[in-house]
Amino acid sequence: MDTAEEADICRVCRSEGTPEKPLYHPCVCTGSIKFIHQECLVQWLKHSRKEYCELCKHRFAFTPTCWCGTCCKGGIL
Ligand SMILES: [Zn+2]
Ligand SMILES: [Zn+2]
């Protein structure tokens, strides 16, 4: 009974991707930490002030511009 690995989940909030909140694969990590929501990645980037993955040291392909279009008028946070 090892089916838990089949569902792709976000490494931050541990929930699955949805049509509204798809999962991204912004670095070269593999396995259960491979995926992250864009929203969770933005929050993490704001918190950590890093531009690269702390685990694989890969610079995120994702650019942390505003995704909501309202909080920062599309500027870099
Ligand atoms: Zn998440
Ligand atoms: Zn990584």
Q: How far is the CA of 35 from the centre of ligand 1 (A)?
A: 9
Protein residues near ligand 1, an ion, with CB under 5 A: 10, 12-13, 37, 40
Complete domains list, the chain, with CATH: 1-77 (3.30.40.10)
CA atoms within 13 A on the CB side of 1: 0
Ligand in nearest proximity to the CA of 36: 1
Token pair for residue 66?
């505003």
At 12-64, the pLDDT tens digits run: 999 999 999 999 998 999 988 999 998 898 888 888 888 889 899 998 866 54
Q: Determine how β-strand 23-24 pairs with β-strand 36-37.
A: antiparallel
pLDDT bin (cut points 50, 70, 90) of residue 73 is very low
Cβ–Cβ under 8 Å, residues 12 and 37: yes
Q: Quick one: pLDDT at residue 5?
A: 57
